[in-house]
Amino acid sequence: MMQTKSMAIQAMDETGKGLAVLATLSAVDKGGDTYAPGAFSWKEGGDQWAMMVPGHNRRATPFGKARVYEEGDKAYAELHLNLKTAAGRDWHEHLLFDFATGRPVQEWSYGYSSEYTYRVTAQGRTRVLTKVDVDEVSPVLRGEGDDTRTLAIKGAKLRDEHHGRLLADLGELAGAIDADPSIVSASGVKQLREIHDAIGRVLAGGDDEATDEVKAQLAQDTALAHMLQFEGTKRRFGLR
């Protein structure tokens, strides 16, 4: 039986290539599932391919395809929009528009079938997915879980209102942590450190041979991606 789960798009460039996070293998997701190592990499070669279709519509002409693989404790989908087709170009333009206009609202999901066992602990029973067969990736109106919005598309601009909201959010989080440092979990500390390091690398100048214009665009893309990632961080820390 086909099932669906939400996913988070982390990046997409002007050629239609992108990256999505499907799962953290060791975590229990919002559906109450966790994953065995190798759950996504069981096919020969260690990866699998799936078509990209709109809204889980298996009768629609695919507008791209995705390569699913594992790296460390995460499962990823390497996205490839087919920009030689009208549907692929239309979706690419839509994503650019969604990202550049107000708060992005496009959500994402993937369809799969699976094999599983159960793990029983004092806290209850958790389903452990041992073999996940991803057969399609879809932009949808509403994903199963939170944080399924597009996080970054190269070419979108960091507008003044985005920059202002980012600074306000960071200030709010800093004040909350000062008042009670215990609100930040170990994973939250790790995420904040990653955001700090990523933006720090941009501000440090990156590639010495890069032009000022390229560095400025990289800083915009990086800050905007982390601003949207930060929306999930705020919810986890109980901020609005």
- The reported pLDDT for the residue numbered 177 is 73
Token pair for 38: 């190798």
Distance CA 83, CA 89 (A): 5
Distance CA 142, CA 10 (A): 17
- The reported pLDDT for the residue numbered 158 is 46
- The reported pLDDT for the residue numbered 73 is 93
Distance CA 223, CA 200 (A): 10
- The reported pLDDT for the residue numbered 133 is 96
Distance CA 83, CA 22 (A): 23
- The reported pLDDT for the residue numbered 152 is 47
Q: Is the model's pTM score more than 0.75?
A: no
Please list the helix, strand and coil fractions of the chain in percent, rounded to the nearest 5, in that order. 35, 30, 35
- The reported pLDDT for the residue numbered 165 is 52
- The reported pLDDT for the residue numbered 213 is 53
Q: Are 99 and 221 in contact (CB under 8 A)?
A: no
Sequence-ordered alpha helix ranges (H) in the chain: 86-100, 160-179, 186-203, 212-236
In sequence order, the 6+-apart residues with CB closer than 8 A to the CB of 165 are 227
| Ranges of each domain in the chain | 3-140, 160-236
Q: Digits of tens for pLDDT over the chain (240 positions)?
A: 678 998 877 776 788 888 888 899 999 888 889 999 999 999 999 999 999 999 899 899 999 999 999 999 999 989 899 999 999 999 998 877 877 788 777 788 899 999 999 998 777 889 999 999 999 999 886 655 444 444 444 444 444 444 555 556 566 667 677 777 776 666 566 667 766 766 666 566 555 555 555 555 555 555 555 544 444 444 444 444
Place of tokens 């030689």: 84
DSSP run (H or E) holding 136: strand 124-140
Token pair for 125: 């029973």
- The reported pLDDT for the residue numbered 103 is 76
